[in-house]
Structure 1
């Protein structure tokens, strides 16, 4: 190999190395930024959940209990995913459950909710975590838009045939929205299913601390 060819070869090798180095560096930066962003999003969502938990269980009640977190799956919760469950214990006995649940049949897709209830089926509070419902119509499920979701407070679900937690048009106590039936019906049905799940918790989980 001649001197000129050798120089050309070294130049090509050097350029290839530089390009490879910056490609790897760029990839590392992208991965790092993605990692940081995911962590920030995760932390933000956890903070949002804490805020929602404080909304569904008033502090004067929450402060009386010890909390233990579980991951559960059940057809009662609307899909096959794992759902967060917080149990509140007093004197080592579970009294209250806070459950993330899903209404899979919303008008614009799945609606994710948080339900708090005593294990006897009495609802403490409900909030919508996220949804894609139509602004001005279906979004009345959101506490920032209307107080509709607060109407479930103190209602009792005795069993699957209990009609209290249903829309009024089906014999229950919950109003639908003007111009919207599918969204409030989906949320109402999901809340009822979730409370039935909560009543079954002692049979589903070992509640020993």
Structure 2
């Protein structure tokens, strides 16, 4: 045995003890906890850093969507600043964006959710005070590309066919796709999607009719 053997033996013994320590359950638990803490702190930092830009982009998208269902020429105010929440027996709380000319309500918009083939379809409706539709846009959906996505204004003019319609135009039995006996076109290979949108828009007209007085009440003067 050389004179370096005891030192080598000591180093090996120390290495074995360190390896055993690293694999001990308490140490493994501590390492896992530390890793989880670092990951949580990183996620919290990213969430905080992106909160303001996401909020700003969401607000911009909302304004752009509202301009498509309430023509800017119809109002002098910012509808997002003059919003009200209507508690409805059927739909629950609905946030309504109100457009005004002077003190009078000149239009309003609200979002309802229907369910198509792929899931939720978020529909934004613009309404005139007389109960007629100013415009409709689909804000988001998960319908099949090339089939159900024809509900988007960017993919076709189908959604524009609701402008000017009202609860009595057509009569209630007409508020269906043609396959179900109504007046609205369905898409080849995708009937469920337009059926859901038509039904959602009809719900919106019923919502307006139930709450017309509250929806068209003048906006209180700002102090």
Q: TM-score range by the shorter chain?
A: 0.7 to 0.9
Give 5+ residue unaligned stretches, structure 2.
1-32
2:70–2:135 Cα contact (<8 Å) kept: yes
2: CA distance between counterparts of 1:61 and 1:206?
14
Residues 109-152 of structure 1: CA distance to partner in whole angstroms, max 9, x if unpaired?
11001000113221110000000000111111011211111111
1:38-187 matched pairs, under 5 angstroms:
38-63=51-76, 67=79, 68-74=82-88, 76-77=90-91, 80=92, 82-103=93-114, 105-158=115-168, 162-187=172-197
Kept in 1: contact 2:129–2:216 (CA 8 A): no
Runs of 4+, deviation exceeding 6 Å: 20-26
Give the corresponding residue for 1:199.
209
Q: 1:37 aligns with which of 50, 71, 91?
A: 50
Unaligned runs of 5+ in 1: 1-19
SS of the residue 2:186 aligns to: coil
Structure 1 distance, partners of 2:205, 2:89, is 13
Tell me how far 1:44 sits from its aligned partner: 1.4
Which whole-Å CA distance do the structure 1 matches of 2:35 and 2:192 have between them?
Answer: 53
Conserved? CA contact 1:127–1:149, under 8 Å:
yes
- Whose radius of gyration is greater, 1 or 2? 2
Contact kept, 8 Å, 1:155 with 1:165, in 2: the verdict is no
State the SS of the aligned residue for 1:71: strand
Cα distance in structure 2, aligned partners of 1:22 and 1:189: 50
Q: Which residue of 2 aligns with 1:188?
A: 198
